Copies of this chain bind each other. A is one copy, B any other.
Amino acid sequence: MRTSAQYYKDLKKMKPNLYIGGKRLGRDDVRIRPGINVISVTFDLAQEPKWQDILTMKSSLSGKEVNRYTYPPQNPYDLLQKQKMIRLLTQRVGGCIQRCMGYDALIALSIATKEMDEKYGTEYHERFMKYLGYSQERDLVAACAQTDMKGDRLKRPCEQPDPDAYLHVVDVRDDGIIVRGAKISITMAAYADEIIVLPTRALREQDKDYAVAFAIPADWDRVHLVTRPVWVRKRKAIKAPFPEYGVSDSMVIFDDTFIPKDRVFMCKEWEFGRRLALLFANSHRHSYSGCKPAISDMLCGATALVAEANHIERVDHVRQKLSEFAGGAELAYAAGIAAAVYGEKTSSGTFFPNPVYANVGRRLMGETIYHEFNILTEVAGGLSATLPFEDEFIHEKTKPYMDKYIVRNPIFSPEDSHRIWRLVEDLIASPMSAWYQIAGVHGGGSPIMETITLNVEYDYESKKNIAKYLAGISKELDQSKDLSIEPVFGEHQENY
């Protein structure tokens, strides 16, 4: 397994294909460092013995312990551990751990390549498994580039005025393919080793050029990353973990880019566009059942802490509000657990979470994220938006005033009081705030997408049958479909 130092060394070797603030740059730009710090934690904790059960797993490819982020779950226990790993790491960096994207892409490809081969006699799965082995051995970090620019939202890919609105195959050669298009909102692409490209939606036959999946190094030729980093204001005196972490998103532009054959995992199999898109989405929504509870944990903790700083921690409405975090976090976490327990062993061997539970959990968190910021705001008070800059806590004229007045609850020293308010500012009134709010709604699929998925996946007919039976319209009620599903669990687990 790589160390974070090796990871950073590898990044610095890459060709400069980032564009930030009107300049072409390499991976040593200071503005992407907060994102690199986040990914580093996924290496660092995998080295700590106490977390190895959670951060590593034994690969049946190599027989070795590998970083859990490099090997798809094989049974429900792996899904539970994945969820736990994500909650652990997200708590620790105070935000999105980012590496799940690439992991969920690997999971989705492991299944879809097998299924395509079963249907078409292609050889994608073997090709992919080689790539997986390569990637696992090097402990690589991948971004997943799924979301296209999309153009007109009411038109399908082949109907767009600009055919490049969705990424597509423009040529097929013996040694590979040529692709064009752009992917947007691609988190961590700027400091990933690899970029994995997946289709973003269901496709029809006319759209078949848009059915394409592949993986390439992130500094590949004719790949341009237009990157927007997000970070919080640098601290001068009161250093702390939170402001060391951050994120970058990129627009990833493919301008007639060549993709070698052994890196292509789907090419024109349009019937699998929807399947592959949903496999990624549903796996990623399950990942959110680990990270969103951790975001709630952090907001809950900050709310509890600032309540104490205001000395209102015993007030009724504050306690009621704190319990809302518990409700949100644990219902979403429970949905992830249920998704594991009622998951499915696919033909590829990868164990996949139950999509209904993955979607109800993710949707809940997407619906409540702004409300959670609202709670912290209510309890913190207006000071979170009007806190004087750190410099004023340093300047000789103003420091005495700051130290005197920042203390509300004398159990906290002026410095700790200041630290609390500064954290609250970073959480709810910094550039990261908006990023968490917006990613909280849209990352992995906005609530409207989960509703659409549920309207497809959920068995409304069995519910209607209950009504028909109770109304006397049907004489019998067949409940077996809904209720005969066995948990993958307990005495039944020997199958896996």
Interface centre among A94, A422, A463 (most CB of B within 10 A): A463
The verdict on A215 contacting chain B, using a C-beta distance below 8 Å, is: no
User: Contacting A92 at CB < 8 Å: which of B325, B404, B477?
Assistant: B477
Chain B positions within 8 Å of A173 at CB level: none
- Inter-chain contact A19/B395, CB cutoff 8 Å: yes
Per-residue interface assignment for chain A, residues 429 to 459, with 1 indicating a CB less than 8 Å from any chain B CB and 0 otherwise: 1110111011101110011100100110010
- Inter-chain contact A330/B356, CB cutoff 8 Å: yes
| Stretch in A4-12, A108-116, A373-381 with 4+ CB within 8 Å of B | A373-381
The verdict on A300 contacting chain B, using a C-beta distance below 8 Å, is: yes
Chain A residues within 8 Å of chain B by Cβ, number: 161
- Inter-chain contact B374/A370, CB cutoff 8 Å: yes
Per-residue interface assignment for chain A, residues 451 to 485, with 1 indicating a CB less than 8 Å from any chain B CB and 0 otherwise: 10011001010111111111111000101101100
- Inter-chain contact A489/B77, CB cutoff 8 Å: yes
Q: Separation in Å of the A358 CB from the closest CB of chain B?
A: 10
User: Contacting A226 at CB < 8 Å: which of B251, B339, B388?
Assistant: B388
Chain A interface main SS type? helix
User: Contacting A19 at CB < 8 Å: which of B77, B398, B483?
Assistant: B398
- Bound form: Cα–Cα A270–B431 in Å: 43
- Bound form: Cα–Cα A286–B489 in Å: 19
- Bound form: Cα–Cα A429–B463 in Å: 20
Q: Separation in Å of the A34 CB from the closest CB of chain B?
A: 13
The verdict on A134 contacting chain B, using a C-beta distance below 8 Å, is: no
Chain B positions within 8 Å of A487 at CB level: 77, 80, 337
- Inter-chain contact A470/B433, CB cutoff 8 Å: no
Chain B positions within 8 Å of A398 at CB level: 19, 224, 226
Chain B positions within 8 Å of A388 at CB level: 19, 226-228, 251
* 24 sampled A-B residue pairs with Cβ under 8 A: A19-B398, A20-B389, A23-B391, A77-B487, A80-B341, A94-B470, A153-B310, A230-B385, A240-B470, A253-B405, A297-B462, A300-B463, A304-B464, A305-B468, A320-B451, A323-B454, A330-B338, A331-B361, A331-B364, A338-B338, A341-B341, A420-B467, A423-B467, A489-B490
With A91-B479, A317-B317 given, name 14 new contacts (CB 8 A). A76-B490, A162-B404, A164-B404, A239-B472, A242-B470, A251-B405, A297-B466, A301-B465, A301-B467, A333-B338, A337-B341, A416-B473, A419-B471, A420-B471
